[in-house]
Structure 1
């Protein structure tokens, strides 16, 4: 009895520890994601730091992340720890390059949106991510069309449309940029499944940055040379504040590690749910600290979209639970099948004996 009680208390302590660690990982990710978003807004917004060069900012991030990732990968190799999967030139060109291109445009467009839109409204527009991912997955035959799921996607879109209608600082160009960023990011996520995951290749944040960041940097070079370089060249007062841009880039790099930590120790679904909490916190922060205008219609629209996203996450959770249950019952089903086959063979043998 004593042993059973002690084993039960150990099990409960283990569960509590696991739950607390999950909350800790979620807290780190929310904090870093929150920090990067607000920091980028501070740098790019003309009313704040007033450095409206989103391509340059993205390139600084990519250069910093590439350099740090190269150093970390080489250190891991020196101590004989697994640093990166085998990457052939053909695989890099066919898989990593398109993913890197999409990532470059996604970051460029999303950072550009901060110049024109409030933090709160950008988070409301980001609620369209499940809609974009589901639609593109259908396009690439990664998902089957279901009328119930599409109805849920339409409810999310309807909520975002209401939020856009009630936006006090609506800017059509900013909205197009953010919608473009959502479309590029959704396509990137689907292509990761098609081009990498289906081939059994998984990249952690360090190896992702090691392979993808230089690719992003290359793809951003041309638009930067055409759009921003001429302006920066003619701006005599320009100087790079190493403290601001260094800490900003470090936060961006830390966020990538936090994503790996959160997904690796919990699940991608946990990150989606945590993302909803982060969005509400950012909306509250945008309204109370940055003093962005958040209207009642904004909140009603985002509330509808939020319910749609919450229902989508609930369905995903039920699907994961069903898969786990199926995995657990699979060995039992196999055992039962073997027993039935043995019984049938025995019955067949007896029948043959009686006929003889």
Structure 2
């Protein structure tokens, strides 16, 4: 009995440790990126994203080839272009839009909008693939959408460009997650192998646009900024921490249950909002805070409903909805749209 108690205590401690280090990496990366754009006046999100991808590509190679932390999952050369490249393209757009939105809107507002991802995933699957969803899933989206509308209408630092970038980022995240089900079918990727294959492609995709669109601005900034190398060091440090975030996601997934992961993910948003307010002191109205809270409660409810439905489907003899699926796509499980913190 004592040994079982110790094992249980260690399991709880391990889960808490996994969640805390995940929060720490995630919130730190968000705050540093916002600091780069706002405080250091480095207003070049494409270059920041490109540096992040370079750090991730190097980190993935070192983790798999040198340190051998995870075994390399071999992918056929043909599949690298047919499957990995399209994923990398959407992956790249997702990260760039996140950094663009951080340049124009506060962290608190950006994180609230990112909570819209479950809704965009469901709507996209319903519109494009005609996938059927339980009515409880649709009901759980109501507080998410309502909370975001309230937060948007009452946001004191509202910027239409940043708002649209964050919203399109949700769509890119949903597209990336849905594509992963079909394009990566047959490959059991973990987060490190995902970065190993996608980061080099993402760097290649983004390098030329970054040089063409931001090259002259970066040269001007280097010639006028009093401490350019300190800023560049901060950007590269952010890239290293962003790669470490992938390890933390892998660790927390394997240390917690699906419900715990969902709740921890929504609490992480609340932590990011609180820390960003303490650092940047961006004005937040009472109704704006209420809208953010409603959204997070809605996301938690959505995760609970998903878990409830998956549990019912896994129990033998549980009656299904009396309806014939329109396609094979409807038989697929709900995609895991909470894994949107990868760099």
Q: Same fold (TM over 0.5)?
A: yes
Of 207, 210, 213, the residue aligned with 1:227 is 213
Aligned to 1:315: 305
TM-score computed with the length of structure 1 as normaliser: 0.82
CA drift of 1:38 comes to: 0.4
Check the 8 A contact 1:22/1:265 in 2, yes or no. Answer: yes
Q: What does 1:92-111 correspond to in 2, within 5 Å?
A: 92-111=80-99
Structure 1 unaligned segments of length 5 or more: list them.
1-7, 328-356
Aligned to 1:261: 251
Aligned to 2:187: 201
Check the 8 A contact 1:29/1:259 in 2, yes or no. Answer: yes
- 1:279 equivalent to 2:251? Answer no
CA drift of 1:245 comes to: 2.4
CA drift of 1:319 comes to: 3.0
Check the 8 A contact 2:143/2:295 in 1, yes or no. Answer: yes
CA drift of 1:267 comes to: 4.5
CA drift of 1:261 comes to: 0.9
Are the structure 2 counterparts of residues 304 and 68 from structure 1 closer, same or farther at C-alpha, using a change threshold of 3 Å? closer
Larger radius of gyration: 1
Kindly report the root-mean-square deviation, in angstroms, between the aligned alpha carbons of the 2 structures: 2.1
Aligned to 1:340: none
TM-score computed with the length of structure 2 as normaliser: 0.85
Within 2, Cα distance between the matches of 1:38 and 1:49? 12
Aligned to 1:37: 30
Are the structure 2 counterparts of residues 272 and 142 from structure 1 closer, same or farther at C-alpha, using a change threshold of 3 Å? farther
Can you list the C-alpha shifts for 1:78-137, whole angstroms capped at 9, x where unaligned?
Answer: xxx762222012211121111110111111111011111011111111110110121223
Of 167, 175, 184, the residue aligned with 2:155 is 167
Structure 2 unaligned segments of length 5 or more: list them.
318-343
- 1:292 equivalent to 2:282? Answer yes
Aligned to 1:212: 198
Aligned to 1:345: none
- SS across alignment from 2:263: helix
Within 2, Cα distance between the matches of 1:325 and 1:15? 26
Check the 8 A contact 1:272/1:313 in 2, yes or no. Answer: yes
Within 2, Cα distance between the matches of 1:13 and 1:229? 57
- 1:126 equivalent to 2:114? Answer yes
Aligned to 1:339: none
Q: What does 1:27-106 correspond to in 2, within 5 Å?
A: 27-45=20-38, 48-75=39-66, 83-106=71-94
Within 1, Cα distance between the matches of 2:311 and 2:17? 23
Within 1, Cα distance between the matches of 2:130 and 2:255? 26
Check the 8 A contact 1:156/1:309 in 2, yes or no. Answer: yes
Structure whose residues are more often helix by fraction: 1
Check the 8 A contact 2:120/2:174 in 1, yes or no. Answer: yes
- SS across alignment from 1:313: helix
Aligned to 2:332: none
